[in-house]
Structure 1
Amino acid sequence: MRFFSTLVASVLGSLIALGLVIVFMFIFLIGLAFSGGEQAPRINRNSTLVFKLSGSIPENVSGDPFMQAFADESPFDLRDFIESTEKAASDDRIDALWIQVSGSALPWATAREVRNAILTFKESGKPVIASSSNYTMSENAYFIASAADKVYASPEALFEFNGFYVAAEFYKRLLDKLDVEPQIVRAGKYKGAIEPWEREDLSPANREQTVALIRAFESVFYTAIEESRGLSRSEVVNLAQNSAMMTARDAVDAGLVDDLLFRDEIETEIKTVSGFEDLSEDLELVTMSTYVRAVNVSKRGSRSDNIAIVYADGVIVPGGSDSGNNPFGGSSNIGSDTFRKAMQRATDSDAVNAIVVRINSPGGVAPAADEMRHEIELAAKVKPVIISMGSVAASGGYWMATAADSILADPLTITGSIGVYSLFFDVGDLFESKLGITYDIVETNPYADMYSGLRPFTADERRLAQRSVDETYGSFLEIVGENRGMTTEEVHEVAQGRVWSGADALEVGLVDRLASLQDAVDSAVRIAELDQDDYGIIEYPKPPTFFEQFENALNVRVRSIALKAASPLELETLNRLNLFDDLLSDYGTVQARMPFDIVVK
């Protein structure tokens, strides 16, 4: 019976896989037919460029039409947006920019780059209008919208203007219920990455650094609102402290919003400020994605002289990068092997004159981060290498940055976190009390089962683990000190696992300059002595295409079909084993990683 069910599952999986391949081959041929004759969209005169602020803007996209059609990939990335907005400012066909707010999930550093691009467009003298529909406008969305000449809201919209917060998650009670005991060694009193496993709230040191971080974000936000809306700091602070949630009408009264208008009324306003003689004419709208395709902003790699942008996006792990459980979800980690190959391609290419490494990483496995740092060090011996920090470049993300010629960060980058830890779990009681599994260990040496996870550390074993972590921390301090021209003691004063905003990191000497990704590219162009108006961009590593991702999706699907033939007891056992595997994925490794996933809201 067991053989028969397995055979049926295998045959069924093969037939479904074959069917899916045929379907997607058909889609592929259709796509070729449409894409083969595709021409750049036509942009008419007196057009209004529409930027729909919804969700996120990725750092790098594949540009694969199948990913856009079937995997909901964004049709443009951050560089596309910035370059397109800059071109639109001088494009005679574009009369105005309309920011349509329907939610924002942008990291704050990314939001600031988007806002600065809008301010640059605004310098052209062309009107910029921002509006929200009946959605709630959050601080993040309003931060971007406030760059406009006029901000409009739907009469019944809500308006959030009540300060910032960070919610840290803790798992101690979960582990207690499972009879799992975390065993943690760390270097750095601010290294809070281990706190979710051993505490139920933030430690005083972790709370101190988190408060300082969100205060830095809040200050940048307040300054932007002051400058855009003509309010004093005291007025802005008072609004945030005393307005748990405003209506759109409250926002108008407070001077944060200009008027309450419906869509047709906003279109009339845009026609008026754009100089329409006949307001009954239709407003010609062109979406940002259409405009990106029309102006072919990047012309990436089309020149003889090029700047390479190498992306390090996600948690740092050994080996290759992967996209996690979601086959179409984008990269969830950056593998040291993937990064090494990307750096070597950029270094070896005669068409690449300088390299910008764009880091968006909270860190990860310390040896992998050091390997990535080494690859940057090798490249810097051949070509100029500049680090551009995105929303986060902390711990292992900062470690790898130290080998470059210069480090640039956004004021709202989360960086620093110079510290390390190792996380171990004693799951012996879980196996015995929850599963009824016991172990009798035979060993040849006293420490042979130290990392088995079946018993807690002895005092001597904890001392050995602590020594390993301390040695890695010492190496981290030395590497930073050598790069930053600081003594180990000076680095230790600003390290100990503490996170800093980009602005504060500049003050304590951890970065060289506050600058955007484009600023980093411009610096690389100057250092490489290239023509500012005649260079291309080559990006590494290349994001996977739809069909490269589809192969992974197919494997997942076939596996799920096979599992349907398993008995309930087998499924329960497998699920528990998967839980243990996830729980112990970092077991025994030295981690250089940020305290927790800091999301400022």
Structure 2
Amino acid sequence: MLQFLKFVLATLVGLFLFFIVSFFILVGIGSALSSEDEVVIKDNSVLKLDLDRPIKEVGVENPFAELSLPFAGNDETIGLKDIREAITRAGKDDHIQGIYLKTQDPGAGWASLEEIRNELLEFKKSKKFIYTYGEYYSEKGYYLASLADKIYLNPAGLMEWNGLSAEYEFYKGTFDKLDIKPLIFRVGEFKSAVESFSRKDMSEASKQQSIELLDALYGNYIANVSKSRNIPASELRGLADSLAVTNPASAEKYKLVTHAGYYDELETAMKKELKVDTDEDIEFVGLSKYLKGKHPSEDGDFNKRVAVIVAEGEIVSGEGSDGTIGSDKFVKELKKIRENDKIKAVVLRINSPGGSALASDVMWREIQLTTKKKPVIASMSDVAASGGYYMAMGCDKIVAQPNTITGSIGIFAMLFNLENFLDNKLGITFDGVKTNPHADWPTLTREMTDFEKDKIQKSVNEGYANFTSKAAQGRKMSVEKLRSLASGRVWSGVEAKSNGLVDVLGGLDEAIKLAANAAKLKEGDYRVRFYPEKKNPLQEFVSKMAGNSEDQIMARQLGELAPHVKMYRKLLNMEGLQARMPFGLDIR
């Protein structure tokens, strides 16, 4: 009896503590959500842009990051849209005197950085200052920092100035050890996505296109840094070749930074600029807080809209999930936009390496139907390659940044023969019966015949013919000319503009202007709306509780092994023909 009472008492105490903790969590949630109230921006403020975090097209605010709640985490994905909007507003806002930029190693692709950089250059026309400080600068971070009026680098810090590189991982050795035989079906010598599984190194064709891509991106990088720092491009290249910039002192010597100094020295310089007493604090305002402040109402007629539909991630069939482009979900969204008479034009904002060829074709068809009712302009972000280009080629015009990665027009399929792995490593064998000679085709548990393999290759060839003929139709060039640019080859935006795969070099703003002009909308006479709409903080909270932050959890738990596990899961999810660019292309 005494033991029973102990258990009852322990249960009651546990329930009591649970309700107390739940109460404080609900108070925290209420406090976070109440932060949606309008914020007053004080005079003589400085916009603080912390870009050292993941940056996507449309971000999601984490309202619980500062509450130290067990489920909240302190990560936050910020949106390129929000960054650009804040910089634009700050340039016209009399309360904002300058920008403090934190950009040591921003989590963004090169074209996204180009968009931010161009916005900052426009901000500088307001004659307001931009200061930046870092304990180190990666090449990506310095690309933004280089335009600042004052660039501080910690005296004990580091600076990366040695050029760009791209490294690929190869798994053939692993498969050999496991007795797994990859079966590759592709069209085009440059379709190198499959090489990670069939080779131990890069093919000559893959090296050729990778070097030319890097040279194009680096040329754009050097040209812009040269202009900002007033240092000849040849000198910048020489500093990288000789590894002359190895520490903050050498970075200051060669005028890549203005000061090898500490953060407090940056603050002192900023206070002097703001005419603030040394014992007073600087009035910093962060990105999310600034966007909640009172700003001039949006111009334009609500009944005349340009819709920007964001397509970001790998392309898959069905509804998809966060971080992917699901063809069913995309089709529903685009159909609603097409049938909405208030929307006069559409900009398709693409940031995708491709994926399912079937899903890409399904979306291409819906884009084509939309072009018959209203103008559709493609705006390429960091990457719009293979399946991403498949989407773009259905639009009326294509806009890309000079450092966008695009092209990769090609198709492949990949299967694995697991017979020896299952038998020799696990002791599992298979046997069965069938009504027809190929009833179990395609199969992973036996060697396919040459006839069966030829059938798959024929399907890949037909997919390639379909892709290239539609691309030629969209680009208004002969199939022969288009195929000379295809074969899976990857191009920079500059190269794609030169060879006709892209119409205009520019960012999202240029694409919106083109769409508005095509719809005969005058400047200031329309509004811009993004679709799908940004998640609100409560939705993000529910998503986190439902496990949608799986990649972040995996990264924390597995560390350096996380990318390999992620690659394995990608292979499991690949179905049918694939229109995607090389796996794991990370240019740094």
Q: TM-score, normalised by structure 2?
A: 0.87
Q: Which moved more, 1:485-494 or 1:121-130?
A: 121-130
| 1:270 Cα deviation after fit | 2.1
C-alpha spacing 1:583/1:216, structure 2 compared with 1 (3 Å)? closer
Q: Which moved more, 1:477-486 or 1:343-352?
A: 343-352
Amino acid at match of 1:51: L
Amino acid at match of 1:272: K
Alignment partner of 2:515: what SS? helix
Q: Name the counterpart of 1:46.
A: 44
Q: Name the counterpart of 2:577.
A: 590
Alignment partner of 1:357: what SS? strand
Report if aligned partners of 1:424, 1:584 keep a CA contact under 8 Å in 2. Answer: no
Report if aligned partners of 2:315, 2:356 keep a CA contact under 8 Å in 1. Answer: yes
Amino acid at match of 1:204: E
| 1:581 Cα deviation after fit | 8.9
Q: Which moved more, 1:56-65 or 1:488-497?
A: 56-65
Q: Name the counterpart of 1:328.
A: none
The CA deviation string for residues 301-336 of structure 1, in whole angstroms up to 9 with x for no partner, is 9933222111111110100121xxxxxxxx231110
Q: Which moved more, 1:45-54 or 1:311-320?
A: 45-54
CA distance in 2, matches of 1:187, 1:21: 62
Q: Which moved more, 1:156-165 or 1:540-549?
A: 540-549
CA distance in 2, matches of 1:139, 1:297: 36
Alignment partner of 2:56: what SS? coil
CA distance in 2, matches of 1:114, 1:67: 24
Alignment of 1:182-193 (within 5 A): 182-193=182-193
Matched, 1:254 2:245: no
CA distance in 1, matches of 2:434, 2:401: 53
Alignment partner of 1:305: what SS? strand
Alignment partner of 1:151: what SS? strand
Q: Which moved more, 1:169-178 or 1:473-482?
A: 169-178
Q: Which moved more, 1:581-590 or 1:476-485?
A: 581-590
CA distance in 1, matches of 2:220, 2:241: 16
Matched, 1:226 2:217: no
Report if aligned partners of 1:48, 1:286 keep a CA contact under 8 Å in 2. Answer: yes
C-alpha spacing 1:284/1:25, structure 2 compared with 1 (3 Å)? closer
Amino acid at match of 2:52: S
Matched, 1:494 2:485: yes
Alignment of 1:551-566 (within 5 A): none
CA distance in 2, matches of 1:298, 1:188: 52
| 1:169 Cα deviation after fit | 0.8
State the number of aligned residues: 553
C-alpha spacing 1:182/1:296, structure 2 compared with 1 (3 Å)? farther
| 1:522 Cα deviation after fit | 2.4
Q: Name the counterpart of 1:532.
A: 523
Q: Name the counterpart of 2:84.
A: 82
Alignment of 1:573-588 (within 5 A): 582=569, 585=572
CA distance in 1, matches of 2:51, 2:457: 47
Alignment of 1:450-489 (within 5 A): 450-489=441-480
Alignment partner of 2:206: what SS? helix
Alignment of 1:400-479 (within 5 A): 400-479=391-470
Report if aligned partners of 1:299, 1:537 keep a CA contact under 8 Å in 2. Answer: no
Amino acid at match of 1:79: K
Q: Name the counterpart of 1:12.
A: none
Q: Which moved more, 1:278-287 or 1:495-504?
A: 278-287
Q: 2:498 aligns with which of 501, 507, 532?
A: 507
Alignment of 1:175-574 (within 5 A): 175-243=175-243, 246-274=246-274, 276=275, 281-295=280-294, 303-322=302-321, 331-543=322-534
CA distance in 1, matches of 2:22, 2:196: 43
CA distance in 1, matches of 2:582, 2:526: 40
Q: Which moved more, 1:303-312 or 1:143-152?
A: 303-312
Alignment partner of 1:45: what SS? coil
C-alpha spacing 1:24/1:58, structure 2 compared with 1 (3 Å)? farther
| 1:280 Cα deviation after fit | 5.3
**Aligned sequence identity (%):** 37
Report if aligned partners of 2:104, 2:142 keep a CA contact under 8 Å in 1. Answer: no
CA distance in 2, matches of 1:123, 1:23: 51
Q: Name the counterpart of 1:327.
A: none
C-alpha spacing 1:97/1:586, structure 2 compared with 1 (3 Å)? closer
Alignment partner of 1:140: what SS? helix
Report if aligned partners of 1:71, 1:546 keep a CA contact under 8 Å in 2. Answer: no
Report if aligned partners of 1:318, 1:336 keep a CA contact under 8 Å in 2. Answer: yes
Q: Name the counterpart of 1:130.
A: 132
Amino acid at match of 1:289: S
| 1:36 Cα deviation after fit | 5.0
Q: Structure 1: 5+ residue runs without aligned partners?
A: 1-15, 323-330, 558-577
CA distance in 1, matches of 2:501, 2:566: 38
CA distance in 2, matches of 1:298, 1:450: 61
| 1:88 Cα deviation after fit | 1.1
Report if aligned partners of 2:155, 2:262 keep a CA contact under 8 Å in 1. Answer: yes
Alignment partner of 2:436: what SS? coil
The CA deviation string for residues 52-88 of structure 1, in whole angstroms up to 9 with x for no partner, is 2312322113457469973656475212211221121
Q: Which moved more, 1:430-439 or 1:546-555?
A: 546-555
CA distance in 2, matches of 1:449, 1:580: 27
Report if aligned partners of 2:299, 2:524 keep a CA contact under 8 Å in 1. Answer: no
Alignment partner of 1:141: what SS? helix
Amino acid at match of 2:371: A
| 1:533 Cα deviation after fit | 2.7
| 1:25 Cα deviation after fit | 9.4
CA distance in 2, matches of 1:281, 1:226: 37
Report if aligned partners of 2:55, 2:106 keep a CA contact under 8 Å in 1. Answer: no
Report if aligned partners of 1:317, 1:333 keep a CA contact under 8 Å in 2. Answer: yes
Report if aligned partners of 1:425, 1:584 keep a CA contact under 8 Å in 2. Answer: no
Q: Name the counterpart of 2:59.
A: 61
Alignment partner of 2:162: what SS? coil
CA distance in 1, matches of 2:276, 2:535: 49
Q: Structure 2: 5+ residue runs without aligned partners?
A: 1-13, 549-564
C-alpha spacing 1:24/1:359, structure 2 compared with 1 (3 Å)? farther
Amino acid at match of 2:101: I
Alignment partner of 2:202: what SS? coil
Amino acid at match of 1:153: L
CA distance in 1, matches of 2:572, 2:586: 23
The CA deviation string for residues 189-241 of structure 1, in whole angstroms up to 9 with x for no partner, is 10001101110110000011111111111111111121111111221011011
Amino acid at match of 1:461: E
C-alpha spacing 1:127/1:543, structure 2 compared with 1 (3 Å)? closer
